[in-house]
Structures are given as C-alpha cells and as structure tokens.
Amino acid sequence: MKCLAIGVVVVTALAGCGQKMDDSRAEAHQNWNRIRAEAVCAQAVESLRIGQLELAGKQAREALTLDEDYDDARIVLAKTYIERGQYVSAAIELRHVLRRQMDSADALYLLAAADEKAGNLPEALAGYLSAYKLDEGNFHAVLAASEVLAAMDRPREARDYLSAHLDRADGDPSAHELGGRLAMLDDDYAAAADHYELACQVDPGNPAYIEALAIAQVFGGRTGEAIPVLLRRSEMSQEPAPKWVYTMLGDCCMAVGELDTAHDAYHRACELAPADPAAWVDAAKALLAMRRLPQAVDAAAKALSLAEDRLDASLVMGYALLLGGQVDRAVDVLERAARLAGQDETLLYVLGQAHEAAGQDREARQCYSAAAELNPDNPLGAALLADVSAGAARPRN
C-alpha cells in the first residue's frame, strides 16, 4: 500500500511538471511571436514614414497575425487607414485598443483625428481634449482641438483655449500660425500680425508665414509695415512668390507714394500672368501716376486687348491720352467705354473733361449732368457743370 501511495504521488508530480512544461512552452511561443510582431511592426512604421501606405498596412496586419494583442501594430494600421481616408476602419482598430487600454492617449488622439476627418466634430473635440489630459506633452492635441472649435464656428473659444496653453508650445511656430488664423477669423488683425511675427521669428524661412504676416498687416491698415515683408517674400529665390504677392506689394507702394517700387512689382505680376488684364491695368495705373503717359497707354491697351470691356483700362487709357494732349483719341476711347459699360460716374466725369478739352461744351455739360444725377451729393459734378457753363458764356477768340 505504501508503494502504491508513493507511486500516486510520483505520477501526480510528474503530471504537474508536464503541465508546467506545457505552460512554459506556450509562454515561450507567445514571447517569440511578440518579438517577431515587434520586428514586423517596426518595418510597418518605416513604411508609413516614407509614405508606402499599402505596404505599411500589410506589415501591420502581419504583426497582428503573430500577436493579436499587440496594440502598437493596431495603431500603425489605424494610421494607414486614416491616411487612406478609411476612417471607419481606423475607428474600429482604435476602439479595439481602447477596450484594452482606456488611458491610451495615442489611441484617443488618433480616434479624434479619424472623427474630425469624417466630419464628427463634437466627438473629435472630446477626443482631443481627453487625449491632452492624458498626455500634456502632446501639444498637437491642443492645436487640433482649437482647429475643431474654429470649424464648429466657435473661433473665440478656440482662441481662448489656444492662448491658455501657448506657454506649452515650446517654440512651435505652428501654434502662432494657428493663433494668427484664429485672430483673422475674429477680425483682430493686430493680434494676427503679432502671432505671425512670432512664427516668422521662429521659422524665418517659411514663405507661408511671411505671406500671412503681410496679409494681416494690410488688412489691419499697416500698409507701410507690409512693404518690407512683401519685399522679403518676393526675394526668396528658393520658392518664387505667387503673383498676388507682387500685386499686393504694388498696391501698398502706390498707397504710400513709392511709385517706382509699385511699378516694378506690377511689372513682375505682368510677367507672371501675361494673360491677366487686371495685371496690365495695375501697371498702367502706376505708369499714369508716374506721368509716363505713352507707356501707360500701351499697358492699358494690352489690358483692353485681353478684355475689351475693362472699364478701368479704358479710364486709364483715356485719361493718359487726355493728359498727353491726344484729346480726340481720348474722346473715342471713352465714348466706346460708355457704350460698353453704360452709366458710370467716374467715366462720365472723365469723358466730360475730354469733351470740354475738345471744345465740345454741350457734350461736356451732358456728361456732367448725367454724373450729377447718378450721385447728387458729389460736389464735383456741380463745380464742373458750372465751370463748363461759364466757359460757354465767355466769347471764344
């Protein structure tokens, strides 16, 4: 009996050892699969970094077949789905992670990004706020929450939330760029310019920041300050400035009387967009202000060749011809414009002056009277009408 009892004990012990060996083998197999999953996931991360989305997704799924509980692989897979516009699929993977790790700031942030891109803004906002509470080192969550608030037509809240966390921006110029955009939405151009100025200080070579600073300054009436900013942008040879930069530069220079610089800017705009009649009109205006009358006529004529009904081009051309003593030609140009454009107060005044210079007082009075009817409060009409009437009453030599 004693031997039998000992045998039972030995068999039981051996059975326990067998179970432990099976558990050890299973654990070792699981650890080996996790190691392999980590290696494959690392490849997926690199594929994602260089933009190979399909390969990255394939590698992430391969990692999950090795270890379905490897959440890092699910997050990589979710990122590929977001990049490819598959927001529902991304949300499924991320919610799977959150069921296992409720406090995963990365998963919350990415789920919020998927919601934002899918148009689920309230859910996105809640997700970004929660992600930031879990990881205050992720300033992108602050930026994203501010962007969503602005998209929800709550720009004041967006500005307040961003401002409350700007001390954590750690020199991130995108924070000031966003602050500038939010201020522009709120028509606070001075604050916008201040934000863009800070962004330019941190990243002085970023053309988008320079352009935004100039726009904020112009909208805020700080035309003179915008000129050197626009000049700096125009001189960045590594990324040529768009046409509107030169147009805005020309407008600012015209406003402060820097006619040579204005002309150069408008001329550059014409080179960039030779088929744009507005660019040629701008150039003609600058040339007219500089009293370079033949060149002004030529530029206006170029605009009219591109768009014959451009009233502003006809006005510049007609006035330049009038100042240059080509009265009959001025009358022809302006009368043609009147036939195309109809009643226009400025056109009628200039045409009246052309008729008066040609000795056609009756036609001049008709133009001044018609202009005065369009705008009775403009004293110019009455003055010109009185002047031409007085001139008609005087005997001509």
Residues 6+ apart with CB under 8 A from 120: none
pLDDT tier, 278 (very low <50, low <70, confident <90, very high otherwise): very high
* Per-residue pLDDT tens digits for 208-228: 999 999 999 999 999 999 999
**Is the predicted pLDDT of residue 397 greater than 50, yes or no?**
no
* Per-residue pLDDT tens digits for 2-37: 555 555 554 455 455 556 665 567 667 678 888 898
The pLDDT score that the predictor gives to residue 31 is: 83
- What is 223-250 written as a DSSP string? HHHHHHHHHHHHT-TTSPPPHHHHHHHH
The pLDDT score that the predictor gives to residue 395 is: 46
pLDDT tier, 204 (very low <50, low <70, confident <90, very high otherwise): very high
pLDDT tier, 307 (very low <50, low <70, confident <90, very high otherwise): very high
State the Cα–Cα distance between residues 372 and 348, nearest whole angstrom: 9
Mean pLDDT over residues 28-57, rounded? Answer: 89
Residue 355 sits at φ, ψ, to 5 deg, of: -65, -40
- What is 177-221 written as a DSSP string? HHHHHHHHHTT-HHHHHHHHHHHHHHSTT-HHHHHHHHHHHHHTT
Nearest to 121 by CA among 151, 166, 99, 146: 151
**Is the predicted pLDDT of residue 238 greater than 90, yes or no?**
no
**What whole-number percentage of the chain has pLDDT above 70?**
89
Mean pLDDT over residues 153-169, rounded? Answer: 93
State the Cα–Cα distance between residues 159 and 344, nearest whole angstrom: 44
Mean pLDDT over residues 322-343, rounded? Answer: 92
Mean pLDDT over residues 84-107, rounded? Answer: 94
DSSP 154: -
**Is the predicted pLDDT of residue 193 greater than 80, yes or no?**
yes
The pLDDT score that the predictor gives to residue 394 is: 44
First to last CA, the chain: 156
- What is 255-274 written as a DSSP string? HHT-HHHHHHHHHHHHHH-T
The pLDDT score that the predictor gives to residue 393 is: 44
**What whole-number percentage of the chain has pLDDT above 90?**
77
